Amino acid sequence: MDTTRKARTIGAVIIAVGVSAAALTGCSSSGSAGTPSADSTEYTLWDPYPDRDASSTWAKAIDACASEIGITIKRNAGNTGDTVKDLTTAAGNLPDIAMVDNPKVSTLADAGLLTTTEDNGFDVSNIEENILSAGEIDGKYYGVPVGANTLGLYYNPTILEAAGVDIAAVTDAASLTAALEKVVAAGKKGITFSAVGTEEGTFQFLPWFWGAGADLTALDSAEAEQALALWTDWVNKGLAPNSVLSNTQGTSWDEFMTGEYAFAENGSWFKSAADEAGYMSIQVPGFNGGVAPAPTGGEFITIPIQKDTARYETSAKIVDCLSTGDTGATALGYVAPTADGQAAQLAADPTLEFWINAVGDAKPRTADNLGVSYGVISEQLYTAIQNSLSGSATPADALKEAQAAADEKLQ
């Protein structure tokens, strides 16, 4: 995504989710990738953070792990792009460690490029299940999360107060819509989000989709139609701007930062900016009440297959060092994947409690063993969102077409 990542303390920001594929191209300042000889103590790590140089908290965390283990870690940081392409064309020169956006784990596993935790001996028992399961296929784990982030519903308390809206009364889709109507009637703008025709659009729609009780294996269900009709009605009634059709999460946030909008659905990575502006947040409400599960974002640390399987033992130590506690998560600005790590983050910054709870309620995009099917389903879903919100199809027709196209592609 287009949010700028910067090395900051965990209390300052929780960084951007990789909702677009994260590339691992050869633009490293620390050496080229490739598999060293069997007796080498040099290990390669590919990550998608080219903006995090040797002085960043992330690079320092890697260096500290290397020193602790007694090895050298050569880091190759690539620009955002196509992770799968870069790894599948590595041709025998796969890195020892590769960090990839969590929905891409299943694609790489299906291509036969990744070891399982059974193969490499990594213990996943202390990792929170809802974060870990993004890397699970048929009961096997093909990587572990360095951490996670997710979505929430930010609000401007000044606008709500002026419009006579009590945020405590916003508990479901109907009460949220009523709040938006009050705000617009008071001369302000309602809600902004990203409905762009990419994975970002699907990512932002999922809390509403899942919150209505819909399932990604049935895009044309009555529950899915309810969720899409909600977004469509907001746009048609002027409660959300037409710009949501082209908004990325970044441009949607820019709209919210104008101070004209009451609500914005967006990610935990904007926590710092929200704190500075005096904005607050709630979890996305379920259609009929309760909390809607939002999708988890963040990268997984994977161990690609190597000819010299003896290397896995040390690779697992690297993964353990970066994923245990809050080491890697805090360095990258994520919520830690373990209870102990989250406790350490909360002790350091109590304001993280909301986002730690939100991550705890979140759900992986590839949940329910969707695996490589998710990419196909997501493409059809964001296409349906575009068709419905633009007025080219009704919510029902857009979703029927989406399900038919998904069925055809997944045969």
Bridging pattern class, strands 261-267 and 151-155: antiparallel
The arithmetic mean of pLDDT across residues 82-98, rounded, is 80
Domain boundaries, the chain: 42-149+296-360, 151-294+372-409
Q: What is the pTM (predicted TM-score) of this model?
A: 0.88
CATH homologous superfamily for the domain 151-294+372-409 = Periplasmic binding protein-like II (3.40.190.10)
The answer, yes or no, to whether residue 185 has pLDDT greater than 80, is yes
Cβ–Cβ contacts within 10 Å for residue 89, how many?
Answer: 9
Bridging pattern class, strands 261-267 and 189-192: parallel
Strand order in the sheet with 72-77: 72-77, 42-47, 97-101, 299-302, 144-145
- Convert the pLDDT of each residue in 124-176 to its tens digit: 999 999 999 999 999 999 999 999 999 999 999 999 999 999 999 999 999 99
Nearest to 264 by CA among 319, 315, 316, 188: 188
The answer, yes or no, to whether residue 8 has pLDDT greater than 80, is no
Q: Does domain 42-149+296-360 have CATH number 3.30.565.10?
A: no
The arithmetic mean of pLDDT across residues 247-275, rounded, is 97
- Look at residue 37 in the predicted model and tell me its pLDDT: 53
- Convert the pLDDT of each residue in 42-70 to its tens digit: 999 999 898 899 999 999 999 999 999 99
Res. 249 pLDDT band, cuts 50 70 90: very high
User: Which run of H or E residues covers position 315?
Assistant: helix 311-323
One fold for both 42-149+296-360 and 151-294+372-409?
Answer: yes
Residue with tokens 């309602």: 190
Phi, psi (deg, nearest 5) at residue 206: -55, -40
Query: Within 13 Å and on the Cβ side, how many CA atoms surround 198?
Result: 14
